[in-house]
């Protein structure tokens, strides 16, 4: 599931998964813009302790995402990638008791992500060194935090938010070799996570915004081979976490407060598969799937029931030439998430959803222009069925520009 830097910095942010040709020039730059709109049926989705209110019904969410990415060859087999984004998100709701409408907004610029990747010591050994410059938001008011609780929900598959993590960094090493018809790569990495991680807390089902994370160690394996005229890619990864700390407050201001609890997240296991078909008259046809399993976590040494979860996604993307230099891009995907039973917020909801994408990819000299539209629909639920299911629908329009020089 690792994409080229342009996909990670631009297309993935806007929700499109079109494949790109390999960069052959020394430098590249990309800009993007995407507008996501989601609306909930059934009078809205119930949320508690939201924006200073006991209970609300969230009616919808809108988010504008403006990602930027640049890449440059450093020589000696090394490449530098820099990505960032600006985002503005708005969530609308009705007070469940009075019916009065309201809204909350979250806006800002993300951390600046800098990564250098290249050959290390010998061929077949690749190192990654990365840092996050702490330019993102790390001090959220009550309304902004409430907006974040909706915008980061995995079930909705929206773009990234501008919330930062504080200073953080990663060191990784990957070794590859041939094994019969397979090219096999084994990797390991160590990530020092920043001191502010509300997104990690919300998606893990913990209740505190002031989540002081431990480091993460990842091991991974990938394998690739030709199957006739087709290309098969398989991947496995495991993330293991050091103990985290929960502190009081919802705005990250309680840095000096004593920890309320120690949280030990369980390991996260991920499996990916991708089959690139050798189809005539098509520039590409790719079938892909991914499965993620999050183990239960422990709070102060006691395992929390219902804190494990399963996330399964898959689909197809294709590009068909319609004239020289121009492709029509298609995509269809589905996702099924079990959700977590530790919380009934949107960030831990179960979901069954599908989406379709259509767009163009056209070269105008050194610039590639990619406008696209995406529609999605699904049903949100809760693990224990304590709240009624709610249907939702969403729409995304976006544009990606890539230049090489």
pLDDT digits (tens, 9 = 90+) for 255-312: 445 567 788 889 999 999 999 999 888 999 999 999 999 999 898 889 988 889 999 9
Once rounded to an integer, what is the mean pLDDT over residues 34-51? 94
What's the pTM value of the predicted model, to 2 decimals?
0.85
Beta bridge partners of 72: 27, 80
Look up the CATH number of the domain holding residue 62: 2.40.160
pLDDT digits (tens, 9 = 90+) for 29-42: 999 999 999 999 98
DSSP 5: H
Residue 364's pLDDT band, with cuts at 50, 70 and 90, is confident
- Among left, alpha and beta (phi > 0; psi -120 to 50; other), residue 121 is left
pLDDT digits (tens, 9 = 90+) for 94-129: 999 999 999 999 999 999 999 999 998 888 899 999
> Residue 67 and residue 256: Cα distance in Å, rounded?
34
Q: Are 177 and 210 within 8 A, CB to CB?
A: no
What the block records as the tokens of 3 is 């994409």
Burial of 229 (0-12, 13-18, 19+ CB in 10 A): exposed
Burial of 324 (0-12, 13-18, 19+ CB in 10 A): exposed
State the pLDDT at residue 345: 87
Print the domain residue range for 150: 5-404
For residues 161 and 272, which has the higher predicted lDDT (pLDDT)?
A: 272
pLDDT at 230 over 90: yes
Q: Number of folded domains in the chain?
A: 1
């Amino acid at each position: 599931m690792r994409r080229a830097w342009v996909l990670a910095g631009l297309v993935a942010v806007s929700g499109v998964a079109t494949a790109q040709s390999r960069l052959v020039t020394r430098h590249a730059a990309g800009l993007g813009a995407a507008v996501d709109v989601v609306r909930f049926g059934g009078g809205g989705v119930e949320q508690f302790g939201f924006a200073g209110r006991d209970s609300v019904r969230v009616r919808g969410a809108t988010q504008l995402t403006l990602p930027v990415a640049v890449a440059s060859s450093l020589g000696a087999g090394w490449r530098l990638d820099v990505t960032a984004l600006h985002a503005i998100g708005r969530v609308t709701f009705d007070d469940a008791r009075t019916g009065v409408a309201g809204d909350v907004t979250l806006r800002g610029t993300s951390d600046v992500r800098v990564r250098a990747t290249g050959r290390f010591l010998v061929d077949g050994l690749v190192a990654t060194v990365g840092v996050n410059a702490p330019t993102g938001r790390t001090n959220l008011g009550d309304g902004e935090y409430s907006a974040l609780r909706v915008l980061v929900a995995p079930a909705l598959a929206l773009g990234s938010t501008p919330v930062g993590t504080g200073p953080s960094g990663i060191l990784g090493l990957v070794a590859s070799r041939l094994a019969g018809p397979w090219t096999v790569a084994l990797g390991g990495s160590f990530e020092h996570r920043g001191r502010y991680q509300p997104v990690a807390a919300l998606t893990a089902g913990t209740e505190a915004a002031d989540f002081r994370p431990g480091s993460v160690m990842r091991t991974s394996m990938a394998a690739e081979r030709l199957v006739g005229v087709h290309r098969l890619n398989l991947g496995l990864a495991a993330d293991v976490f050091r103990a985290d700390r929960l502190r009081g407050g919802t705005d990250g201001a309680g840095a000096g407060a004593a920890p309320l609890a120690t949280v030990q997240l369980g390991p996260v296991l991920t499996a990916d598969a991708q089959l690139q078909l050798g189809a005539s008259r098509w520039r590409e046809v790719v079938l892909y799937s991914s499965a993620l399993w999050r183990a239960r976590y422990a709070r102060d040494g006691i395992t929390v029931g219902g804190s494990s979860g399963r996330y399964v996604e898959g689909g197809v993307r294709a590009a068909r030439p319609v004239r020289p230099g121009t492709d029509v891009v298609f995509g269809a995907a589905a996702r099924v998430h079990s959700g977590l039973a530790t919380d009934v917020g949107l960030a831990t909801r179960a979901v069954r959803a599908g989406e379709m994408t259509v767009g163009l990819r056209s070269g105008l000299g050194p610039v590639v222009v990619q406008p696209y539209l995406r529609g999605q629909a699904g049903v949100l639920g809760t693990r224990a069925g304590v709240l009624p299911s709610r249907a939702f629908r969403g729409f995304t329009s976006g544009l990606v520009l890539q230049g090489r020089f």
